[in-house]
Amino acid sequence: MVTLKDKVVVITGANGGMGVEVCKLLAEEGVKFALCSNDALGLATLAESLRSQGLVVLAGTFDICDELQVQAFMEQSVKTYGQLDYLLNLAGLSIPGKIWDTPENDYDLNMDVNVKGTFLASKHFAARVDPTAGALIINIGSMASKNPNGNAPLYCAAKAAVSMLSRAMAIQAKERKVRITTLNPGGVNTGFWGDRPVAREKLMIPSDVAEVIHFVMTRDSRVLMTDIAFESFNNF
């Protein structure tokens, strides 16, 4: 089991439901955080909470789809800590609706945040890791990439793209000793759903996903888990 103390962990979408729970677990390990989000207030609240526990936190508010901003944050993270060890790509969104009623802009936003954001963060993280030390990227896919959901076809398509992007990037990233794992959770009871009618009692809770993330992060570097699917037993 790998010890995470003083490891540098970059987290996108850090102050979302899953991100907050992951930070709670990692805070107990004594990691160094590089947190980003497009929600300035939420990110500031999370960062201050972690700093009050004596933890070191770098926080940046920006658009995960803007390459220059992503690049600048990764460079700032390396300058601040001297290393990068883990990237957790948690930023994502879902835009439900009938295809024939869906504006083109919704398609673009869905693909940009879920796929392009994952690509950009992974690109600029992998380019800056120490290839002699090894690193790990965890991308968040979804069971929707495996089981079509008629309420959110754009989300299904985006997460399927994330899954294959991750598998193909993993082949290339091996030369830099970067492992890439895709986690495909089923529904999780977070603000992700908005006001959509969902049987929340059948969903997982954010800490369920956080614990799986922590499990993957603490495996020895000789182990590569490429694709993990899990869901609520109540919804199985």
Q: pLDDT tens across 106-132, in order?
A: 999 999 999 999 999 999 999 999 999
With cut-offs at 50, 70 and 90, classify the pLDDT of residue 193: low
Which residue matches tokens 């991308």?
A: 139
Q: What is the pLDDT of residue 198?
A: 65
**Average pLDDT of 133-147?**
93
Inter-CA distances, 77 with 56, 58, 69, 105, 194, Å:
12, 7, 12, 32, 32
Q: What is the pLDDT of residues 220-236, one digit of tens each?
A: 999 999 999 999 898 77
- Of 113, 118, 83, which Cα lies nearest the Cα of 11? 118
Who's near 174: CB < 8 A, 6+ residues apart?
none
